[in-house]
Structures are given as C-alpha cells and as structure tokens.
Amino acid sequence: MSKAEKRSEIVHAALELIAENGFHGAPMAMIAERANVGAGTIYRYFENKDVLINGLCQDLEERMYPVILTGYSADSPLRDRFLHLGAALLRYFIGNPLDFRFLEQFHNSPYGVEHRRDKILGKNAGYNVFRELFQAGVSRQVMKDLPLVILFALAFGPLLAVARDHILNFITLDDDLIARTVEASWDGIRN
Amino acid sequence: MSKAEKRSEIVHAALELIAENGFHGAPMAMIAERANVGAGTIYRYFENKDVLINGLCQDLEERMYPVILTGYSADSPLRDRFLHLGAALLRYFIGNPLDFRFLEQFHNSPYGVEHRRDKILGKNAGYNVFRELFQAGVSRQVMKDLPLVILFALAFGPLLAVARDHILNFITLDDDLIARTVEASWDGIRN
DNA sequence: CTATACGGAATGAACGTTCATTCCTGTTAT
DNA sequence: ATAACAGGAATGAACGTTCATTCCGTATAG
C-alpha cells in the first residue's frame, strides 16, 4: 500500500467511525483496526487526534465544494442560483450520508464552534459563494433585509434538518420533495 | 439540605456542565463537586449517568412547555398561533441558554436520536401542540402540502439555528429581530 | 547476480490519565 | 443503639499517546 493510499485509508476509517458512532465511538485503536494499520502508524501521518479530525473536515470541504458548484452559474437569476445550491447541497448530503453525519458531529463539538467562529467573524472570510449570493440578494432587495447570519439560518436550517431526517429514516426524500423543500426555504428568505 | 433540594442541585449542576462543556466535559466527579455532594451520593438519586441525563431532558421539557404555552390560544388564526409559539420558543432559548445548549448536546447524541425516533414514529405521539397546529394548517390549506416532518424542519430549523447563533454571540437578537425571523420562517411554511 | 548493510516506515504492547461506578467508613436522625 | 444516608477514596475499564522493536525496500560490496 502506498503512502498516499494509507493516509486515505486512515482518513476514511476515521470518517466512517465518527459518522456512525460519534466522537466517543471512534477511539484511535478502532480507527487503526478498520484502516488495517497499527495504532502507532496513524501518528506518522497525523500529529494527534485533533489534527486528524481537523484534517478530515478540510478534506471533506474540498471534496464537497466542486460537486455543489458543478453547473452553478454566477450569472443566473438569484432565485435560480439559490435553488441550484440548495438542491445540490441536499443531494450531496443524501448521497453521502457519512459526510453529512461527520459534519454534524464536527459542528456540534468544540472543534466545530471554533471553525465556524473563524468563518463568520474571522480572517479567511475570503471568497465564499454563499456569502456573495446572499449579499447580492439583500442589496438588490430580492431577499429580506435581515442580517446575513439570519438569512443563512433561514436558508440552511431547514435543509440540514431535512437531510438529518432523511438519513435517520424519518422520511424519504425524492427529487420532487427535494425541489419543493428548497423552494419552501427560498420562500423564507425572499422578499 | 433536604432530599429534594439535593436532587435538584445535582440536576442543575449536571445541566450546567453539560451545557457549558458538552458530555465530555461533565464527568460525574465534576457534577458532584459543583452540586456540593459526594461522587457516590449521585448514585443514591440516579441509577447511573444515562438515567440522570434522560431525567434531565424530561425535567427540562416539563419546565419549558408551560412557559411556551402561556398566552397560547388554540382558537386564534393559525398564523398567530405559529408566530406565538415560534417567538415564545426563541425567547425561551435566548433567556435560558443553558437549557438550549443542553438540548442541543442531547439531540446530537445517541440518547437524543432514540428520544426523537420515539416522538416521531413512536407510541407516545400523544397530545402535541405543534403536531396539532401543523396538521390543521395542512388540512385547511393554509400551509404547504408537505409531509409533517418537512414542515417541522422548515419552521424550527431556522429558529434553532438563530438561537444557536445568538448564544454563540454571532448575532444579538432583540424583540424586533425575533419577530421578523419568526415571520420569515412562517413564510417558509405558509401557502 | 547474490549477499550484506542500512534506514525509514510500521507496529502493538505498555504507560499514564480519566472516567463511571462501587464500597466502605463516618455521620446523622430516630 | 440502630438504621438510613452521605461522602470520597478505591477500582477497573477505556482512552490517547509513546517508544523499543521489527519489517522491508533499496543501496552497496563482493
């Protein structure tokens, strides 16, 4: 097994275990076992568990962004752009439940809060499709004149909640239901 | 200290610690210390940690419901009823951040998922103001014709998200902002 | 071409720490 | 005096992390 493969085995095993059992249910020994490596080997690739977990999150975002942005045109009407992003996000989560469950675990942990604080208040507020879309929406008065944070909550709160419900089998989302849900969440933010 | 007082000290300490530091950051020894009791004493009141935590959740719901339902009239128009419940919920969470943080921790843990599964699919689907309100909304065509679970997500997803953002100091909610947020989430579900 | 030596990578047993839970001692109330 | 209770030290299981050792591919010597 090459070095890169081994690293990715470790990352994949960790993601799987954390998604399935939460942070509690993913001790290093178990990650090592599932990745078919020795317990110590992990520490050749990651300084410690914190670094592994933060790395996981970064890897994940890098995999997710391109998928969501496929077919996204910054020139379309705002409504279309929102519907595209919302549906793409929802489909991604449904198609990659492990990624979704990991992100949920991550965001409800000390790691996640710090991560989000940086994103909202922090330096690397850099380029961000979502922020750009919402700022345009507000300034063109297509969206409600509410703080960005609240618009985010109105838009993505429902989407994350239905993704969770689908993955926990409380409901089964098909393409029609996805579309109607995203449209409903658009109704929440549009003027 | 009376027996009932001691029990409530333990419950309060546990809620505080779990809310502040998550489940990881609330070992029994620390709960005992904050409650000014011995570590073993807790086990005279609760069989084990699981029982303590589930008890916490039940206590909390019993404290929350009356507050939210104060001034609620089942005869008002559906829109008013929703606005009342939404604003009351949001205000409760903002005024009782520890309760909110605990509920979040709880719902993102194995305990919480089981608890919710029971509530949605389970037996004790018994009386529930929210369910009743939404069923009425759908059947009178005041709300979108979507599965109940999705309407819940559309309505409460945003409210929980903004409550979280307020408590984490990403935004400061005042009465005006609360009202406008609840109205926006109503736009998401109404026809 | 084969045999030997080398060095980085992998290993997993062992360590120190932390936790939930138990147990025994001392205290209080009757 | 006795029973019920409270306390916190003791216990053992589980965890993240370390480190002495083994393994293996490659370079070097014969």
pLDDT digits (tens, 9 = 90+) for A118-135: 787 765 555 689 999 999
Question: Which residues neighbour strand C (beta carbon < 7 Å)?
Answer: A 3, 6, 36-41, 43-45; B 24, 26-29, 39-40, 43, 48-50
Of chain A, the percentage scoring pLDDT greater than 90 comes to 72
Of B113, B153, B165, the CB nearest to A153: B165
Q: How far is CA B77 from CA A49, B74, B83, B140, B145, in A?
A: 53, 8, 10, 11, 18
Judge if the beta carbon of A138 is closer than 7 A to nucleic acid strand D: no
Query: Separation of CA A39 and C1' C15 in angstroms?
Result: 15
The per-residue pLDDT for A112 is 81
> Count of CB contacts below 8 A, A vs B?
119
DSSP state of A108: T
Tokens of A6: 């081994």
The per-residue pLDDT for B189 is 98
Give the mean model confidence (pLDDT) for residues B150-164.
98
Neighbours of A177 (CB within 10 A): 17
| Average pLDDT of chain B, as a whole number | 92
The per-residue pLDDT for B42 is 95
The per-residue pLDDT for A70 is 96
Decide: B104 and B111 in contact? Cβ < 8 Å.
Answer: no
A66-69 long-range Cβ contacts below 8 angstroms, 24+ apart: A67/A92, A68/A92, A69/A129
The per-residue pLDDT for B113 is 78
pLDDT exceeds 60 at position A19: yes
The string of pLDDT tens digits covering residues B160-176 is 999 999 999 999 999 99
DSSP state of B35: T
Among chain A, residues having any CB pair with chain B shorter than 8 Å are 22-24, 104-105, 108-110, 113, 116-117, 120-121, 144, 146-147, 149-150, 152-154, 156-162, 165, 168, 170-171, 177, 180-181, 184-185, 187-190
Q: Domain B1-46 adopts which CATH fold?
A: Arc Repressor Mutant, subunit A (1.10.10)
pLDDT exceeds 60 at position B123: no
Pick among 1.10.10.350, 3.40.50.970, 1.10.390.10, 1.10.357.10: CATH of A64-189: 1.10.357.10
pLDDT exceeds 90 at position A22: no
Query: Separation of CA B163 and C1' D10 in angstroms?
Result: 44
Decide: A78 and A133 in contact? Cβ < 8 Å.
Answer: yes
Nucleotide closest in space to B30 (CA vs C1'): C19
The per-residue pLDDT for B24 is 87
The per-residue pLDDT for B114 is 76
The per-residue pLDDT for A4 is 65
pLDDT exceeds 60 at position B51: yes
pLDDT confidence tier of residue B39, bands split at 50, 70 and 90? very high
Give the mean model confidence (pLDDT) for residues A30-56.
91
Residues of B in contact with A113 (CB under 8 A): 168
The per-residue pLDDT for A25 is 85
Give the mean model confidence (pLDDT) for residues A9-37.
91
Q: How far is CA B115 from CA A15, A100, B97, B112, B124, in A?
A: 25, 21, 21, 5, 11
Give the mean model confidence (pLDDT) for residues B22-46.
93
Please, which residues bridge with residue A44 across strands? none
Neighbours of B128 (CB within 10 A): 12
Residue ranges of the domains in chain A?
Answer: 1-46, 64-189
The per-residue pLDDT for B167 is 95
The per-residue pLDDT for A122 is 64
pLDDT exceeds 70 at position B125: no
pLDDT exceeds 90 at position B115: no
Give the mean model confidence (pLDDT) for residues A144-173.
97
Q: Which comes out higher in pLDDT, residue A22 or A154? A: A154
- Tell me which CATH code domain B60-189 carries: 1.10.357.10
The per-residue pLDDT for B147 is 97
Non-local CB neighbours of A133 within 8 Å, separated by 6+ positions: A78, A81, A82, A85
Count of positions (residues) in chain A: 191
Among chain B, residues having any CB pair with chain A shorter than 8 Å are 22-24, 104-105, 108-110, 113, 116-117, 120-121, 144, 146-147, 149-150, 152-154, 156-162, 165, 168, 170-171, 177, 180-181, 184-185, 187-190
Q: Do A147 and B187 touch (CB under 8 A)?
A: no
The per-residue pLDDT for A7 is 87
Q: Do B120 and A150 touch (CB under 8 A)?
A: no
The per-residue pLDDT for A2 is 61
The per-residue pLDDT for A158 is 98
The per-residue pLDDT for B122 is 63
**Nearest Cα to Cα of residue B7 among B60, B66, B55, B67:** B55
Q: What is the ipTM of this complex?
A: 0.87
pLDDT exceeds 70 at position A146: yes
Q: Cα–Cα–Cα angle for B87, B89, B95, nearest 5°?
A: 100
